[in-house]
Amino acid sequence: MGRARVVDWVVAIGVAVALLVTGVGRAHGGPEWLGYTLLVIGGLALAGRRRAPVAVLVVTGLCAVGYQALGFDVPVVAFLFAVYFAVRAGHHLVTVIAAIALILALSLAAVITLHDTTAALARGRDALELAWLIAAGAAGEALRQAERRADEAERTREETARRRADEERLHIARELHDSLTHQISVIKVQSEAAVHVARKRGEDVPAALIAIRDAGREAARDLRATLAALRDDEAPRPGLAHLDDLLERARAAGVDTALSVEGDRTDVPAAVGRTVYRIVQEALTNAARHADATTASVRVDYRADGLVIDVEDNGRATAAAPAGVGLLGMRERVTALGGRLRTGPRPNGGFAVHAELPLERS
């Protein structure tokens, strides 16, 4: 039970107890047990004021009319609370109709109880109860307006923060474009030209040169994707749907890679999909370039509360190897989503990456 529900029940029980204590010894005819029951029900009904304020208004009003007709001279406290909550929820017309109906019904109940029309109509408490009802409605409307103004102020702050974030994101995109795009393009073009010339001359192309060329191509692709994301373009962003592309690149680099998917596939937040893509990308890149792996496996397990990703290879790995920038970035992405990451050598050789990404927080 949430805190709000606890507060609702505390208020409801408090009002029920107050009505019951007030009603003791104040019955003037009628079955007392029924009157006490209506007093308690009228108070406890307030526990549902968040989910069904109109229903609470009706129930408390009927209970008030009922115990007044049974001779219980008790104020309609529960109905006053119900009026306040109903107006606060925005049900103005229904509340006005219910309040007028209650005043008329209480006058009729007084006639039935007192058996004296003149005395019943002369009751000054009708006017007092009407004043209290108006005050309760005014208090509910005042708080509703205050909450509406607070919501509008919060939306304005969120829009301002979002606009500033958009401006900063575009600024970063421009800086990246101006500072990195040219240099990466030069590396990519020069390395591709060097490979082409070497092959044209019939010379052996150094593996390091091939690696530079491939890294330049991948860096250019990643930079384009990053700039598209920062500019919020309509270009597709890497995610779970692009894992096959990563596997194809790994196979082209000499790593026989297999993908297995377990569980029922469901839609996941874009942030989770991008993080999965980056985890697999970094793990396969490390396997191909640094671990001299020949095989690798990727497993994506869809679970009720999140995703589990396992990437394993048969390359060289040592427990003492320091965490590189790629692994650090991987860990930061997982931690930002509230997940857990475990990396390290496998007992039978090779390297393993295990990530657990929750869906709710994302």
- pLDDT per residue as tens digits for the range 229-275: 666 654 456 788 889 888 888 888 888 999 999 988 888 888 888 88
Q: How far apart are CA 135 and CA 141, in angstroms?
A: 10
List, edge to edge, every strand of the sheet that includes 306-313.
256-262, 295-302, 306-313, 351-358, 340-345
DSSP state of 259: E
Write the single-letter amino acid at 226.
Answer: T
Task: For strands 351-358 and 295-302, give the pairing.
Answer: unpaired
Nearest Cα to Cα of residue 337 among 280, 286, 246, 273? 273
Q: Which of 139, 57, 65, 146 is nearest to 98 (CA)?
A: 57
Specify whether the CB–CB gap between 270 and 318 falls below 8 A: no
Among 97, 127, 12, 111, CA closest to 65: 111
Question: What confidence tens digit (pLDDT) does each residue in 32-65 have?
Answer: 778 788 888 888 888 888 888 888 888 888 888 8
CA distances from 19 to 153, 281, 340 (A): 40, 67, 54
With b for 16 or more beta-carbon neighbours within 10 A and e for fewer, the 77-93 pattern comes to bbbbbbbbbbbbbebee
Helical segments of the chain, H only: 3-23, 32-44, 53-69, 77-88, 92-114, 117-121, 125-176, 182-200, 207-230, 243-252, 270-289, 325-336
- Compute the Cα dihedral for 162, 167, 173, 179 and give only its sign: negative
Selection from 33, 115, 96 nearest residue 67 by Cα: 33
Mean pLDDT, rounded, of the chain: 78
Calpha distance 77→75 (Å, rounded): 6
CA distance 336 to 278: 14
Residue 232: predicted pLDDT: 60
Confidence of residue 23 (pLDDT cuts 50, 70, 90): confident
Which residue matches tokens 């006490």? 36
33 burial type by CB count under 10 A (0-12 exposed, 13-18 middle, 19+ buried): exposed
- At 152-204, the pLDDT tens digits run 777 777 777 777 777 777 777 777 766 677 677 778 788 888 888 888 888 88
* 192 CA to centre of own chain: 47
The partner residues of 308 in beta bridges, in order of sequence, read: 301, 356
Least confident of 122-131, 214-223, 243-252: 122-131
Nearest to 60 by CA among 19, 23, 88, 32: 19
- Given a cut of 90, whether residue 138 has pLDDT beyond it is no
Residues 308-341: pLDDT tens digits?
999 999 887 644 344 445 677 788 888 888 889 9
